[in-house]
Chains A and B, each alone.
Chain A
């Protein structure tokens, strides 16, 4: 190995911990910026869906536990609805922004990541798998989502949130038609 490379390698070795995402909250995109991106003509006024009765039970089935709050805020316009949802990967919530258009996912972004592992779910190679995904029987996605080694819990959490957003979008559309 050429000796001239030694200082460079030493520097790389010393800076390695700073190249890895440290524990703590990392904001990749603020929820406001996500909404502005999805609704470039102006973010609509928010509305809320209350998790009561049947909705509450179905949400519990999808997540495997109760959602931490009794109501969820969403933004909708021209058949498109945007959801900012939280789900715990291992210990801390992952905040995800999901845009649903006519029952299919149009955009999914990991907005805020707080865990020390599993941050790979923010990459497009992962989130692109949800593009145009929709729900089928049993509130499951119509496709298989590939796991990321070492990020299994984060993958599960984001997949659950995708199912949750699709279910809630379906519910508000059915509710509006009624």
Chain B
């Protein structure tokens, strides 16, 4: 092998080194992102990333997550039952499940009675669920509004008639009284402070950590075409592997 040829080979190797170094530097950031997010995603269940939510305002704004502008709320002597989006709240405590509409809420004795969709939720004063009553528990269909009769007992206006439960909410019967004597519940506006706290709570319950990790991993956090960035990163990694192998092979010779 001539001297000139050896020099040419050394120059080629040096050039490959330089390319390998720059590709490595460029890919390093992506490797870190892919490795860290991949590692975390492998342990989603252990760290409950699917049930934990992002609270960071910057990330929530980036995803365009906003609280709904409209809500329905009923005030009960200092407490508030509010439907915010599909989330139902007793003050700031979120109740289980998702709901389409809040029909009314009032206090009957020690219990808070909340009518949502086709169900009535019985709550303790602190918001703890006593029982969820549906059609099979006698709740009338097509509920329109709730109210209290002159004796302070619950009256429910159903699709075609008025109904009243017994004191334990176990048996229901037709109510034959005069609807004009009933004090029907009226929706109310929330105090500003509670509204702002609910907005914060609502936004913090929407975006699971797992979603952000997946979007970081796939590149989709950068938008609809963000995956192309990770595609380029993948190409760089392939180039890195190939250039590394080539350098190793040439140095062996």
With A32-B136, A46-B170, A48-B168 as contacts: A68 and B124 at CB distance below 8 Å:
no
Contact A70 B124 (CB under 8 A): yes
Give the most central of B96, B131, B171: most A CB within 10 Å. B131
Contact A45 B130 (CB under 8 A): no
| CB of B205 within 8 Å of the partner chain | no
B208 to chain A, nearest CB (A): 12
| CB of B128 within 8 Å of the partner chain | yes
Contact A70 B131 (CB under 8 A): yes
From A31, A48, A70, give the contact of B136 (CB < 8 A). A31
CA distance A15 to B26 in the complex (A): 47
With A45-B170, A48-B170 as contacts: A69 and B131 at CB distance below 8 Å:
yes
Residue of A nearest to B133 (CB): A73
Q: How many A-B residue pairs have CB under 8 A?
A: 27
| CB of A129 within 8 Å of the partner chain | no
CA distance A111 to B65 in the complex (A): 37
B120-154: CB near A (< 8 Å → 1, else 0) gives: 00001000111110001100000000000000000
Residue of A nearest to B138 (CB): A46
CA distance A69 to B111 in the complex (A): 13
CA distance A177 to B128 in the complex (A): 30
A78 to chain B, nearest CB (A): 20
With a cutoff of 8 Å between Cβ atoms, the chain A residues found around residue B124 in the complex are 70
Tally of chain A residues near chain B (CB < 8 A): 12
Range for the number of chain B residues in contact with chain A: 10 to 19
With a cutoff of 8 Å between Cβ atoms, the chain A residues found around residue B130 in the complex are 69-71
A28-40: CB near B (< 8 Å → 1, else 0) gives: 0011100000000
Q: Is the interface of A mostly helix, strand, loop or mixed?
A: mixed
CA distance A30 to B168 in the complex (A): 24
Contact B96 A68 (CB under 8 A): yes
A13 to chain B, nearest CB (A): 29
CA distance A46 to B129 in the complex (A): 19
With a cutoff of 8 Å between Cβ atoms, the chain B residues found around residue A70 in the complex are 124, 128-131
With A31-B136, A32-B136 as contacts: A71 and B171 at CB distance below 8 Å:
no
A70-114: CB near B (< 8 Å → 1, else 0) gives: 110100000000000000000000000000000000000000000
With a cutoff of 8 Å between Cβ atoms, the chain B residues found around residue A30 in the complex are 136
With a cutoff of 8 Å between Cβ atoms, the chain B residues found around residue A73 in the complex are 131, 137, 170
B22 to chain A, nearest CB (A): 47
Q: Which of B196-224 contact A (CB under 8 A)?
A: none
CA distance A46 to B138 in the complex (A): 11
With a cutoff of 8 Å between Cβ atoms, the chain A residues found around residue B128 in the complex are 70
With A30-B136, A31-B136, A32-B136 as contacts: A69 and B170 at CB distance below 8 Å:
no
Q: Which of A104-137 contact B (CB under 8 A)?
A: none
CA distance A69 to B132 in the complex (A): 8
Contact B171 A45 (CB under 8 A): yes
With a cutoff of 8 Å between Cβ atoms, the chain A residues found around residue B132 in the complex are 69
With A30-B136, A73-B137 as contacts: A68 and B129 at CB distance below 8 Å:
yes
Query: Could you name 7 residue pairs across A and B whose Cβ atoms are closer than 8 Å?
Result: A45-B170, A46-B137, A68-B129, A69-B130, A70-B129, A70-B130, A73-B170
Residue positions of A touching B, CB distance < 8 A: 30-32, 45-48, 68-71, 73
Residue positions of B touching A, CB distance < 8 A: 96, 124, 128-132, 136-137, 168, 170-171
A48-B168, A71-B131 known, 7 other contacts, Cβ within 8 Å = A48-B131, A48-B170, A69-B131, A70-B124, A70-B129, A70-B131, A73-B137
